[in-house]
């Protein structure tokens, strides 16, 4: 059931899709995004140190998190006639082959402006250990013409 | 190794042109980056959707998309992840091996569509050193062939040393 703007309150939860990360999924993301940074391809290169960090092997593209959060937001917004307008993210932990990640969101606030209606959503991506790998904030617009109430 | 991107070949070995790329010291905040127009295809959208598990018919099912809010197929908003590489040349410093993405914020205006000839206006906006790491802030705006803004974004990367 698509949600209407008037039904949305702070605290409302949004669940995103689970995503199993593998060497193949990372390779596919390379081909789809054209981001062939050796961080995502070359285990030998990743045995080296990055400053004080050693990843021990290839890591998933941070932007794969971004793509999954986007998928969650558009799957939530589109059926309601709403539009995904903004996403800001930070990466907290590397994601590796074998991990399963899942985005989720919580509505922080709603706001009616002169010409439209907005929902601000706190987003997070967790791995299978419940650790946060990415956090961020999103805005979805519910135009006055959509699902008018 | 190269991969076909439209009518051109995309070099997938990011080491190959590494020497020709600007390092942190060379990057001048405010100076426009060289960019390339790119024609977005249905195939590129489909492959991107597959990589993130997108199944929305608006992106892949022409008949369903025609009856939808955009009157035709569109790309998911996050397609700028691909556009960032398809609209920049091989010597662009975003491809320097070891570049670490430290965060992004993007605003979306209208969707990109298959057949769009997409252009990018991009520059570094700022650079700084924090906790012994070299940061660059970048600013990017993608346009379609009508001059409409598709999306605009700001990102931070940590430069390889």
Q: Does the pLDDT value for residue A49 go beyond 90?
A: no
Distance between CA atoms of residues B125 and B121, nearest Å:
12
Instruction: Report yes or no: B56 and B111 within 8 Å, Cβ to Cβ.
Output: no
Contacts of A35 in chain B (CB under 8 A): 81, 84-85
What is the pLDDT of chain A when averaged over all its residues?
Answer: 93
pLDDT (tens digit per residue) in A58-97: 999 999 999 999 999 999 999 999 999 999 999 999 999 9
- The CA distance from A71 to the nearest CA of chain B, in Å, is 6
Dist CA B106 CA B109 (whole Å): 10
CA angle A8, A122, B156 (to 5 degrees): 145
Q: What count of CB pairs under 8 Å joins A to B?
A: 120
The tens digit of pLDDT for each residue in B117-158 reads: 999 999 999 999 999 999 999 999 999 999 999 999 999 999
Segment A14-19 mean pLDDT = 97
Give me the residue from A19, A38, A84 closest to B53, CB to CB: A19
Average pLDDT (A6-35) is: 97
- What separation in angstroms does the CA of B122 have from each of A40, A81, A88, B24, B35? 24, 31, 18, 16, 8
Torsion of the alpha carbons at B62, B65, B66 and B68, rounded to the nearest 10: 170
Distance CA A11, CA A14 (A): 10
Which chain A residues are Cβ-neighbours of B41 within 8 angstroms?
Answer: none
Nearest-angstrom CA–CA distance, A72 and A103: 7
Residue B55 gets the label, from left (phi > 0), alpha (psi -120 to 50) or beta, of alpha
The CATH architecture of the domain made up of A5-21+59-148 is Roll (3.10)
Q: Residue B38 pLDDT > 70, yes or no?
A: yes
For residues A109 and A122, what is the distance between their CA atoms, to the nearest angstrom? 9
User: How large is the ipTM?
Assistant: 0.93
Question: What confidence score (pLDDT) does residue A1 get?
Answer: 63
Q: Say whether A46 sits in a helix, a strand or coil.
A: helix
Q: What distance in Å separates residue A17's CA from the closest CA in chain B? A: 9
pLDDT at A149 over 70: no
Question: For chain A, which residues make up each domain, given as ranges?
Answer: 5-21+59-148
Distances (CA, A) of A68 to A61, A146, B51: 11, 25, 10
Q: What mean pLDDT is predicted for residues B10-36?
A: 92
Chain B residues in contact with A86 (beta carbon < 8 A): 105-108
């Amino acid at each position: 059931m698509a949600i209407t703007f008037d039904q949305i309150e702070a605290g409302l939860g949004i669940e995103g899709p689970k995503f199993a990360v593998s060497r193949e999924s990372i390779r596919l993301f390379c081909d789809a995004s054209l981001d062939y940074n050796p961080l995502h391809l070359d285990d030998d290169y990743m045995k080296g140190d990055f400053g004080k960090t050693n990843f021990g092997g290839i890591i998933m593209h941070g932007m794969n998190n971004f793509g999954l959060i986007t998928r969650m937001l558009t799957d939530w917004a589109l059926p309601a006639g709403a539009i995904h307008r903004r996403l800001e993210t930070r990466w907290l932990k590397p994601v590796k082959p074998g991990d399963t990640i899942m985005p989720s969101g919580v509505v922080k606030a709603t706001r009616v402006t002169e010409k439209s209606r907005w929902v601000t959503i706190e987003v997070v991506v967790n791995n299978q250990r419940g650790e946060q790998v990415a956090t961020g904030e999103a805005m979805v617009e519910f135009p006055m013409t959509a699902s008018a109430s | 190794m190269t991969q076909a991107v439209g009518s051109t070949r995309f070099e997938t070995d990011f080491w190959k042109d590494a020497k020709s790329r600007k390092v942190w010291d060379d990057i001048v905040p405010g100076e426009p980056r060289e960019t390339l127009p790119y024609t977005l295809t249905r195939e590129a959208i489909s492959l991107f959707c597959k990589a993130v598990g997108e199944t929305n018919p608006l992106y892949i099912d022409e008949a369903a998309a025609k009856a939808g809010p955009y009157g035709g197929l569109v790309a998911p908003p996050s397609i700028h992840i691909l556009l960032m590489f398809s609209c920049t040349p091989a010597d662009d410093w975003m491809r320097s091996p070891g570049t670490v993405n430290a965060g992004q914020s993007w605003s979306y205006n209208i969707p990109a569509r298959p057949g769009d000839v997409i252009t990018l206006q991009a520059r570094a906006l700022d650079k700084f050193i924090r906790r012994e790491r070299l940061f660059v802030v970048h600013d990017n705006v993608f346009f379609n062939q009508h001059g409409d803004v598709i999306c605009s974004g700001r990102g931070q990367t940590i430069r390889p040393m």
